[in-house]
Amino acid sequence: MSSDLTGKTALITGASRGIGKAIADAFAANGANVVLCSRKQDALDVVAEEIRAANPGAGVLAIAAHVADDEQAEAAVAAATGEFGGIDVLVNNAGTNPYYGPLIELDQARADKTVQINQWAGVLWTQLAWRAGMAERGGSVINIASIGGLTTEPGIGYYNATKSAVIHLTRQFAYELAPKVRVNAIAPGLVRTHLARALWEEHEDRISKELPLGRIGEPVDIAKAALFLAGDESSWITGQSLVVDGGAMIRPQVT
């Protein structure tokens, strides 16, 4: 039993920064070939070079693709399969939150974008990975959800609704793709990422004091959980959402 991923190929969406980059770093450090996907090729190329420098001989492929574009997603999966022979681990990490405010003021354009990136894209890439060989060889799918999908909070209610959908889709896919493919989710709390900057940048000290473990999360905290779910140590786990939040969800709720 180990998280040695030698000989396996992992495709990570949203891999140019934050949690996606940290997961790619961790997977490559543990022997995996990594396929990096995000919208901007130049940002991906920088990450790819960093991974190669830190892991000489690592197989690294950087492919620009919009996660909600069917043709670009299909081309990325095809390129990954052509380069490495298949995909063993898929990490659906790409996410967005174009709207902050009450649901009553949400417009359709931003609602549609949030669903397309956070919810539909995970379905699309899982379908493509399954058809590209996971159906025969097996594998692991890891969806990045959020503790927001398990609770309510002001301002990001629609983002949280899509993350709640990710948690349910994880369970549904786990049922439908078993026994060949395991499907699990990670539900991070507040992590130091660009996407979440508005939530922590000016309030980190206060938030940290309120958390049982005394700090907000770092991308590497989520990468360690992803490494566990990708490896043999989690071989009898599927359909689950692993909360990694510094204890945020166990705090007493005060009315």
- Report the Cα 44 to chain-centroid distance in Å: 16
Catalytic residue (choose from 99, 100, 158, 159): 159
Given a contact cutoff of 8 angstroms between Cβ atoms, the answer to whether 59 and 34 are in contact is yes
- Which of 189, 205, 183 lies closest to 92, judged by CA? 183
Show the DSSP H helices in the chain as ranges: 18-29, 41-54, 70-84, 108-115, 121-129, 135-137, 157-177, 197-200, 204-210, 219-230
Q: Within 10 Å of residue 197's Cβ, how many Cβ atoms?
A: 10
100 is catalytic: no
List, by residue number, the catalytic residues.
159
